[in-house]
Amino acid sequence: YITKTAYIDQIELRGGSDIFHGHRQDWATNVGISQVLNKNAVLDATLSYINSSGYLGNPYKVVTAIFVDPDQIKSGKEVLSGNVQALMEQRPDRRNQMAIGGKYVQYVEPLDAAVHLSYQFSHDDWGINAHIFEADWVQPLGLGWTVTPRIRYYSQNAANFYQPYLTVEQAYSQQAVDNQGREIWVDASNPDNGVEYVRDANYNLLDAQGNMVDESELNVRNKTIPFDASKLPDNFSSDHRLSGFGALSGGLSIAKQFSRGIGLQASFEYYSHAGGLKLGGGGAGAYANFDYYVASAALTVDLSAAANSLSHNSHHHGSDDHQQHMHNVPAGLRFAHMMPQADSWMIGYQFMYGATGDGMRHGKNPARDLDVVQNGCSDALPCRFTPSDMNMTMSMLNIMYAPTDWLNLMLMPQFVSKSMHIRELEGRPPPSLDVHEHTGIGGHETGGVGDTLFGALVDVWNQPGHEVHMGLMFSAPTGAVDLEFRRIARTDGGLIHFGMQLGSGTWDFLPSVTYNGMYADWSWGAQLSGTVRMQEENRSGYRLGNIFQATTWGNYNITPWLSASLRGVYTWQDSIHGDYNGFNAGAGPMDYPDNYGGSFWDVGFGLTARVVKGDLVGNSVSFEWLQPAGDDFKGYQLARDGALSVAWNFSF
């Protein structure tokens, strides 16, 4: 329902999706100067210029256009009716922006504080003039604590092509007629073949030569003429960021600096955007007003300070075989090593990629399309579609701290991204004519914050060359489980497939027991772990199945800095319990709880490289590929292609 006339030459139909192509180029330059006024004050001045060219719009922004047939105006009607449509916005293809600003910094010696005041004015050839005023007060409190209140005011006038909506004095489309005023008809199956028809006084269908045509052999429809795009403004946009408005925000940050270059910071900010806050008034209407607040927390690490601390400890305490071998754990394995020294830190990042797509499976065997149609969904609603492929990526931050030599605390936030394509099943029932199916054949994606893991690892047995520890981890339901399909053709698509949601939606317990052994250049280990759902259902009405996993691995140090690993994994997962408590289209097996879970066997191949000396000591990078070796699926599911894990860790 989005009119794309202005950019039709830049849109490519690929795999059922409209792919927009555009090119943009930006050049930027800036210059700054600082003047020390005295021992307690500094003045800065900046000047910047940005030149942008090419496609400068946003393909996801549309403008509401009301098409009013001018014949209504001629008729003298007091109340006019319009045809409301959505047009892709059209911005200029060039923009020049210039900004000048200044900043004053004053140290307040009696309070051991600093005040920052700044102002910036910017202008561009879209007609936007903007003013920015900022102020903050940095107040140390002692013992590494700092409090910083701040305030910011922003004001701009509207771009010269901004319009909240368009009123267009022409019909959106109209009936085509010939030179005798007769309605023109075309073949609906091939409307652009150049063949046109008209009707005589008896409503008979005639060709261009006036011969009567057998209408039973054609599927004709009226030929319509679209609106004249040349009568629209050259540029238009209803993006609120181009309107006239003011924005006022205020916030507070609290920071704590620890030893070894570790710092924690928490911030809160409230933001108000309103047309009435614009300097001089005259901003956009109240319909564009909004407020929000944001709270954030950050962990900062000064890597140079941390590395110096690690180098100092190594110099005084010597090498630690356990510390060396703990970096050799396969990249795809979690909760498998502990830091044995009190007041130690580890900061890490883990990336995981999993792919499925080698056809549908049922149990241990391939599944035919007709089997999926008849058995993969429900008796009342046979399957119409099935996944053709699905990919998942996960990025996880790993923060570990050892308050003692027998206890490690862990925090692991995650970001998850998923994509899926589906296809029509052969032998599927015909589509319902009165229902628009959200097929997803063009592909659909989800992404955002996943569930957050936290908990502790506890050392339970430690002997030279051997150690056993227990994991007491929990998962907080920070990942969404109520994501829906985007509205298409004014129709809600309902909740997306279970496997495309971003979390479990329940509080989960993740227990584990891990054994690590090491001798000379060899290390090995085994782990039993599980996931226990601690609630009967999530807010969407279901819960994921419990998980049990057993794994064992061996590792060999090829060189002092490079090692290789081999791992075997067995995983069992129960099917989903319950079902969605909201609308879900039930289009294919991915929408039914019984088609999740199973028993799986994998073999992992890994490499680990670590820095053993120098300024980067304490860093390690590891890779692991998990190759499926056997599957026994519950229900009907996509075959697994494999999974890649990449991990970086920095211990200090």
pTM tops 0.85: no
Nearest to 394 by CA among 471, 443, 466, 331: 331
> What residue ranges in 69-112 does DSSP mark as E strands?
83-88, 94-108
Confidence band for 275, pLDDT divided at 50, 70 and 90: very high
Confidence band for 468, pLDDT divided at 50, 70 and 90: very high
Tell me what the mean pLDDT of segment 204-229 comes to: 87
Tokens of 14: 């690929």
Nearest to 114 by CA among 83, 142, 82, 146: 146
CATH of the domain at 450: 2.40.160.40
pLDDT in tens, 619-651: 899 999 999 999 999 999 999 999 999 999 988
Tokens of 19: 């792919």
Q: Is the pLDDT higher at 201 or at 639?
A: 639
- 321 domain-assigned: no
- Class of residue 213 by CB neighbours under 10 A (exposed 0-12, middle 13-18, buried 19+): middle
Residue 140: strand pairing partners: 146
- 481 domain-assigned: yes
* Mean pLDDT computed over every residue of the chain: 90
- pLDDT, residue 606, reads 97
- pLDDT, residue 175, reads 86
- pLDDT, residue 437, reads 61
pLDDT in tens, 426-442: 998 887 655 556 555 66
Tell me what the mean pLDDT of segment 53-67 comes to: 93
pLDDT in tens, 536-548: 999 999 999 999 9
- pLDDT, residue 317, reads 45
Per-residue buried b or exposed e for 416-439, using 16+ beta carbons within 10 Å of the residue's own CB: bbbebbbbbbeebeeeeeeeebbb
Nearest to 510 by CA among 452, 559, 560: 452
On whether both 401 and 478 belong to a single domain, the answer is yes
- How many alpha carbons fall within 13 Å on the CB side of residue 464? 1
On whether both 185 and 39 belong to a single domain, the answer is no
Residue 30: strand pairing partners: 48
User: Where is average pLDDT lowest: 288-292, 521-525, 612-616?
Assistant: 612-616
- H helices, E strands: number in the chain: 4, 38
User: Where is average pLDDT lowest: 14-18, 162-166, 376-380?
Assistant: 14-18
On whether both 350 and 401 belong to a single domain, the answer is yes
The answer to whether residues 244 and 285 touch, using CB atoms and an 8 Å cutoff, is: no
On whether both 93 and 201 belong to a single domain, the answer is no
Backbone angles phi, psi at 479, to 5 degrees: -85, 145
pLDDT in tens, 294-329: 999 888 877 666 556 555 555 444 444 444 545 579
On whether both 211 and 263 belong to a single domain, the answer is no
pLDDT higher than threshold 80 for residue 343:
yes
- pLDDT, residue 613, reads 84
- 387 domain-assigned: yes
Give the number of domains in the chain: 3
- 353 domain-assigned: yes
On whether both 412 and 483 belong to a single domain, the answer is yes
- 316 domain-assigned: no
Domain boundary residue among 251, 285, 301? Answer: 301
Spatial distance between the Cα atoms of 217 and 210, rounded to a whole number of angstroms: 17
- 151 domain-assigned: yes
Backbone angles phi, psi at 371, to 5 degrees: -65, -40
- Class of residue 638 by CB neighbours under 10 A (exposed 0-12, middle 13-18, buried 19+): buried
pLDDT in tens, 100-158: 999 999 999 999 999 999 999 999 999 999 999 999 999 999 889 999 999 999 999 99
Spatial distance between the Cα atoms of 191 and 225, rounded to a whole number of angstroms: 12
pLDDT above 90 as % of the chain: 68
Backbone angles phi, psi at 581, to 5 degrees: -95, 5
Spatial distance between the Cα atoms of 182 and 194, rounded to a whole number of angstroms: 17
The answer to whether residues 580 and 592 touch, using CB atoms and an 8 Å cutoff, is: no
- pLDDT, residue 435, reads 52
Confidence band for 612, pLDDT divided at 50, 70 and 90: confident
On whether both 248 and 185 belong to a single domain, the answer is no
pLDDT in tens, 533-581: 999 999 999 999 999 999 999 999 999 999 999 999 999 999 999 999 9
- 312 domain-assigned: no
On whether both 581 and 458 belong to a single domain, the answer is yes
- pLDDT, residue 318, reads 43
**Residue 363: Cβ within 10 Å count:** 15
pLDDT higher than threshold 90 for residue 340:
no
On whether both 473 and 515 belong to a single domain, the answer is yes
Residue 532 domain boundaries? 329-651
On whether both 604 and 471 belong to a single domain, the answer is yes
On whether both 159 and 179 belong to a single domain, the answer is no
On whether both 187 and 120 belong to a single domain, the answer is no
- 350 domain-assigned: yes
